[in-house]
Amino acid sequence: MYFLNYAFMQRALLAAVLVGVTAPAIGIYLVQRRQALMGDGIGHVAMTGVGLGFLLSTSPVWMATAVSVLGAVLMELIRWYGRTRGDIALAMLFYGGMAGGVMLINLAPGGSNANLMSYLFGSLSTVSGSDVTAICVLAAFVLLVTLGLRRQLFAVSQDEEFARVTGLPVRTLNLLTAVTAAVTVTVAMRVVGLLLVSALMVVPVAAAQQLSRSFTVTFVIAVAIGVAVTVSGTITSYYQDVPPGATIVLLTIAAFLALTALATPLARRRARAAAAAQPAGDPAECAIPAARGTGEEVGV
């Protein structure tokens, strides 16, 4: 544990824990909404923010946050009004964001694509004290939204029409989900990297769903997996001198495969137990219910 004596490892581990908590916390709503790749698209847009940060000599984290939030709002507007051309507009937004980031960072004084690599794939040694401060503030916002509005966000993620009928502000909640996802991307980019953050938002949730269908239990398991893989990946990266983002994502996929292998025989055993407990005779779905009275008729 002597690596804790190094200040850069202390900062990296703190950032890793916050990323491990926040990414699955918003990812569970994106999976329910079938928007698993939303984080990937926001990551492309955030690259422009990183490039602007270098060009204007300001914090790349805060600039990436502003640009990715703007991109997330545009994505929601395109989803609402885009209709048939929405996919083309989104593609231009994503690839334009990536190209803009590369161009701006090369225009910055002393800038080069090497500066961009730590934001694309994560880096332990470049996590500064100001980065940790920004990550803590942004992570607090993500947790405030995902936990404080969990009932409303879950309702909208499950069925927008039903949520609208019940009086929930569906568009506002959709917009808030998109903005929270954008903030999460910038929280994670220093540890996992912009190009890999989407995996950490989605795969832990998919792994947790192998063990439970309850929203609360899935949420807790997904966050536990997120923290475990980010901390393990950060420590492995230190000892083996490998990229932290790639290491974390590979560990996350390994956790998914392991839980899938564990859940399959358990599901089969439960199915056999349920079949054995069912009374002999007609299947329940084919059984005819007993009449409630001899003179009673079925109403139409």
229, 212 Cβ separation under 8 angstroms = no
| Predicted pLDDT of residue 249 | 93
CA proximity to 146, closest of 197, 220, 61: 220
Q: How many residues are present in the chain?
A: 300
208, 214 Cβ separation under 8 angstroms = no
68, 182 Cβ separation under 8 angstroms = yes
| Predicted pLDDT of residue 124 | 73
Single-letter amino acid code for the residue at 153:
L
Q: What distances in angstroms separate CA 186 from CA 13, 123, 164, 274, one per listed residue?
A: 16, 14, 30, 46
| Predicted pLDDT of residue 299 | 41
Neighbouring residues of 19: CB distance < 8 A, sequence distance ≥ 6: 135, 139, 187, 188, 191, 192, 200, 226, 230
Neighbouring residues of 225: CB distance < 8 A, sequence distance ≥ 6: 24, 204, 207, 208, 252, 255
| Predicted pLDDT of residue 268 | 73
pTM (2 d.p.) = 0.83
241: phi > 0 → left, psi -120 to 50 → alpha, else beta; which? left
Rg of the chain over all Cα atoms, to the nearest angstrom: 23
| Predicted pLDDT of residue 115 | 67
| Predicted pLDDT of residue 298 | 38
pLDDT in tens, the chain (300 residues): 777 788 888 888 999 999 999 999 999 999 988 888 888 889 899 999 998 988 888 888 899 999 999 999 988 888 777 665 667 777 888 888 889 888 888 888 866 666 677 788 888 777 888 888 999 999 999 999 999 999 999 999 888 888 899 889 988 999 999 999 999 998 888 888 888 888 999 999 999 998 888 889 999 999 999 999 999 999 998 888 888 889 999 999 999 999 988 887 776 776 677 677 766 555 544 444 444 444 444 344
Q: What distances in angstroms separate CA 226 from CA 19, 47, 159, 206, one per listed residue?
A: 8, 24, 27, 11
CA proximity to 47, closest of 101, 88, 116: 101
| Predicted pLDDT of residue 113 | 66
| Predicted pLDDT of residue 105 | 85
